[in-house]
Amino acid sequence: MRLQYPPNVKIICLPCTGKVDLIHILRAFEKGADGVYVAGCLEGACQFGNGNIKARKRVEQAKNILEKVGIGGERVQMYNLSSSEAPRFVEIAKEMTEKITAMGPNPIKMAKKKMAA
Amino acid sequence: MIVAKQKPLEEIIEELQDYTKILVAGCNECVTVCEAGGKKETAILASSLRMYFLNQGKDVKIDEVTLERQCDHEYLEEIRKVIGSYEAILSLACGVGVQFMAEKYFSVPVFPGVDTCFMGVTEERGVWSERCQGCGQCILARTAGICPVSRCAKRLLNGPCGGSTKGKCEIDKELDCAWQIIIDRLKELGKLEQYEQLSPIKDWSTERAGGPRKITREDIRQ
Amino acid sequence: MKEVKTPSKLEKILNAGHLAVTSECGPPRGSDPNVIINKAKMVKDHVDAINITDNQTSVTRLCSIASCIHLKLMGLEPVLQMVTRDRNRIAIQSDILGAASFDINNILCISGDHQKFGDNPKGQNVFDLDSMQLIQTVRYMRDEGKFLGGDDIDRPPRMFVGAAANPFADPFEIRVPRLAKKIAAGAEFIQTQCIYNVEKFKLWMKLARDRGLHKKVYILAGVTPLKSAGMAKYMRNRVPGMDVPEQVVKRMSGVPKDKQPEEGLEICIETIQQLKEEEGVAGFHIMAIEWEEKVPEIVEKSGLYPRPRIN
């Protein structure tokens, strides 16, 4: 299957979503990402036990912080799907792209531009 | 270790409203272990603050550093050369570190980033509980190694009170009754008869009640 | 007969071998002395002494000492309850002297409920002493005539010293050792937690007798009449250290709501009657919470009336 997904999604590969740290997510936003989503294995199917559960908790922490700093917690999302679900992957990529597009750009990015100007 | 928890971000932001050059200073000791103010938390907090102020349209410089300890001169000295370039310090060390920082850099505003809670253990990752209140006169020898000063809600030296129910404290069904554990331990040690020894009235002058405490050891002092 | 050590009427009655009857009155949440006076009037002819609770369940009330003084002014015999939660050793000794200056001759030494249960859960607690150490303190002040600091007391307090015991709290195995410990600390009378589980109380008494403790201390069995099945359930489920057996709850639930108060009184009276013959029970402590008007009925129907006249 050579399915197409929106080109604005940049994939960062990790051995397991358990490797995702809160600071990774925050730095992405600090550097101007408009949205971040973490695609982990289905819950209960983590090769390493509970990497995806840990990732979910960190995504929740990121949501909380982003909400408080005024960027919006909705910009970060956790998804669970198996590696064989390519159509689902595309669906999520589209869904997330639509959602973030609707929310508009990361306000940090705008603020930085304004300050530089 | 000393157990702390990070203050709510809103409170920290409120403290720092008036400053444009801030150093966020973590500590590699206790607050690292209890995941409140170590290198990782320092990075997360600094990043959060940068995003917050940027989003507010404020140009605030927020740098981060994590010191080996904030309760010793030699590590605090490490930031002396850069301290002049900051208007305020947010210390993620325990209350001890925050104060030592404030004492050392007397003209720089220092704010706490954590609420220092107690001396305790890591029961499991994410769960810490109190074990010691530093009363200055350890009674564990006669309480089977379990401390009623820190773990009994009423600090009863001759417990348990009538509120002990099924091994739990009357103030919280999740909280173990310290005296139940003491009694269980005495039994295990074959020393239950020790229970009937009256604990004398405690000298609290070595505790907070006696005023700020200090230990001076001339044998090792330089 | 033992030697009487204090001017306490309660001590004299117990010492003379009578089954003593005490009751308790909770002070009001305000400064109207009539609340305490009226409660006392309801029970005064049917009890030997009246306990005044000390900010029970950590809810702020008119103070125990002032309430005791009101009773003294009525010519009644108060038992000053004192918790260690709210006072350090300076205040404790000072309050004891204050009470002694009004010839309040009985004190019940307790630690007190944690402030979490009261109207000031954010407050500090003190617990400079615990209940055992308070017992020791009063005895030291009385018997040695000295302050804890070692100085002499001019006109030492002459108080009959009591303690609470809960035969039903956990762990059960130390309940009797704990009683022994309170006696060793200097307790002269004991008022127990409310008894609904008579069998368990009897077991506790037996274990106490096995150690001869009933000969070293006067044990007043505590009773509280249940007003309703709801109260029975509340006490069973919510009050720490309270043992209300299922059959008591069932018995209360088994009668119509309007008959439940009567049933509660009946259970209370039966409990007293069962325990009157129990060796080592020296009397009864009737805690009719906000139901003081029923104390005379309980005392009369239990065959504990009239009360002995002792000067």
Taking an 8 Å cut-off on Cβ atoms, the answer to whether A23 and B10 are in contact is: no
Q: Are both B6 and B113 inside the same structural domain?
A: yes
Q: Are both B103 and B204 inside the same structural domain?
A: no
Across the interface, of A21, A23, A70, the residue whose CB is closest to B52 is A70
Per the structure, the complete domain to which residue B7 belongs is given by 2-118
Q: Given this model, what pLDDT does residue C310 score?
A: 85
Using a CB-CB cut-off of 8 Å, the residues of chain B touching C112 are 154
Q: Given this model, what pLDDT does residue C239 score?
A: 87
How much is the mean pLDDT over chain A? Answer: 95
Across the interface, of C130, C174, C241, the residue whose CB is closest to B156 is C130
Q: What confidence tens digit (pLDDT) does each residue in B116-166 have?
A: 999 999 999 999 999 999 999 999 999 999 999 999 999 999 999 998 989
Using a CB-CB cut-off of 8 Å, the residues of chain C touching B133 are none
Q: Are both B34 and B97 inside the same structural domain?
A: yes
Q: C243 pLDDT exceeds 80?
A: yes
Residue B6 lies in a domain: yes
Write out the residues of chain C at the interface with chain B, using a CB-CB cutoff of 8 A: 85, 89, 111-114, 116-117, 125, 127-133, 136-137, 148, 164, 166, 169-171, 173-174, 177, 180-181, 184-185, 193, 240-241
Residue type, position B132, single letter = C
- The alpha-carbon gap from B176 to the nearest alpha carbon of chain C, in Å, equals 12
How much is the mean pLDDT over chain B? Answer: 97
Taking an 8 Å cut-off on Cβ atoms, the answer to whether C127 and B204 are in contact is: no
Across the interface, of C117, C169, C180, the residue whose CB is closest to B165 is C169
Taking an 8 Å cut-off on Cβ atoms, the answer to whether B48 and A68 are in contact is: yes
Q: What confidence tens digit (pLDDT) does each residue in C20-38 have?
A: 999 999 999 999 999 999 9
Residue B30 lies in a domain: yes
Report percent pLDDT > 90 for chain A.
90
Residue C284 in contact with residue C278, Cβ under 8 Å? Answer: no
| pLDDT band at C238; cut points 50, 70, 90 | confident
Taking an 8 Å cut-off on Cβ atoms, the answer to whether B50 and A30 are in contact is: yes
Q: B218 pLDDT exceeds 70?
A: yes
Across the interface, of B40, B48, B55, the residue whose CB is closest to A107 is B55
Q: Given this model, what pLDDT does residue A2 score?
A: 81
Q: What confidence tens digit (pLDDT) does each residue in C170-207 have?
A: 899 999 999 999 999 999 999 999 999 999 999 999 99
CA dist., res. C233 & res. C239, Å (int):
10
Q: Are both B66 and B152 inside the same structural domain?
A: no
| pLDDT band at A117; cut points 50, 70, 90 | confident
Using a CB-CB cut-off of 8 Å, the residues of chain B touching C184 are 196, 198
> Where do the domains of chain C lie?
9-301
Could you tell me if B166 lies within 8 Å of chain C, comparing CB atoms? Answer: yes
Residue type, position A18, single letter = G
Query: Residue B91's domain is classified under what CATH number?
Result: 3.40.50.2300
Could you tell me if B137 lies within 8 Å of chain A, comparing CB atoms? Answer: no
Q: Are both B25 and B90 inside the same structural domain?
A: yes
Taking an 8 Å cut-off on Cβ atoms, the answer to whether B54 and A111 are in contact is: yes
Q: Are both B141 and B203 inside the same structural domain?
A: yes
| pLDDT band at A83; cut points 50, 70, 90 | confident
Topology of the domain covering C9-301: TIM Barrel (3.20.20)
Q: Given this model, what pLDDT does residue A116 score?
A: 84
Minimum Cα–Cα distance from B193: chain C residue: C177
How much is the mean pLDDT over chain C? Answer: 97
Minimum Cα–Cα distance from A65: chain B residue: B48
Q: How many of the other CB atoms lie within 10 Å of CB of A35?
A: 21
Query: Helix axis angle, C260-276 relative to C246-253, nearest 10°?
Result: 140
Q: C311 pLDDT exceeds 80?
A: no
Pick the last residue of a domain from B85, B118, B151.
Answer: B118
Which of B10, B11, B48, B52 is the mutation pick for testing A, counting most A CBs within 10 A?
Answer: B48
Q: How many residues does chain C have?
A: 311
Could you tell me if B180 lies within 8 Å of chain C, comparing CB atoms? Answer: yes
Q: Given this model, what pLDDT does residue C240 score?
A: 82
State the DSSP H helix or E strand holding residue C65, giving kind and residue range, or none if neither: helix C64-73
Pick the last residue of a domain from B84, B118, B152.
Answer: B118
Q: Given this model, what pLDDT does residue B88 score?
A: 98
Minimum Cα–Cα distance from C124: chain B residue: B154
Per the structure, how many domains does chain B have? 2
Q: Are both B154 and B109 inside the same structural domain?
A: no
In Å, the largest CA–CA distance within chain A is 49
Going by C-alpha positions, the residue among A53, A1, A10 that lies closest to residue A32 is A10
Q: Are both B114 and B161 inside the same structural domain?
A: no
Work out the average pLDDT over C15-20: 97
- The alpha-carbon gap from B1 to the nearest alpha carbon of chain A, in Å, equals 25
- The alpha-carbon gap from B98 to the nearest alpha carbon of chain A, in Å, equals 24
Across the interface, of A21, A27, A69, the residue whose CB is closest to B52 is A69
Q: Given this model, what pLDDT does residue C119 score?
A: 97
Q: What confidence tens digit (pLDDT) does each residue in C80-103 have?
A: 999 999 999 999 999 999 999 999
Pick the last residue of a domain from B65, B91, B118.
Answer: B118
Taking an 8 Å cut-off on Cβ atoms, the answer to whether C169 and B171 are in contact is: no
Q: What confidence tens digit (pLDDT) does each residue in B51-99 have?
A: 999 999 999 999 999 999 999 999 999 999 999 999 999 999 999 999 9
- The alpha-carbon gap from C279 to the nearest alpha carbon of chain B, in Å, equals 24
Report percent pLDDT > 70 for chain B.
100
Q: Are both B157 and B93 inside the same structural domain?
A: no
Q: A1 pLDDT exceeds 70?
A: no
Q: What confidence tens digit (pLDDT) does each residue in A33-52 have?
A: 999 999 999 999 999 999 99
Residue B170 lies in a domain: yes
Minimum Cα–Cα distance from B161: chain C residue: C111
Query: Long-range contacts: B202-208, Cβ < 8 Å, 24+?
Result: B202/B135, B202/B137, B202/B139, B202/B157, B203/B137, B204/B135, B204/C128, B206/B135, B206/B136, B206/B137, B207/B133, B207/B134, B207/B135, B207/B136, B207/B137
Across the interface, of A23, A114, A115, the residue whose CB is closest to B44 is A23
ipTM: 0.94
Q: Are both B24 and B111 inside the same structural domain?
A: yes
| pLDDT band at C2; cut points 50, 70, 90 | confident
Taking an 8 Å cut-off on Cβ atoms, the answer to whether C170 and B200 are in contact is: no
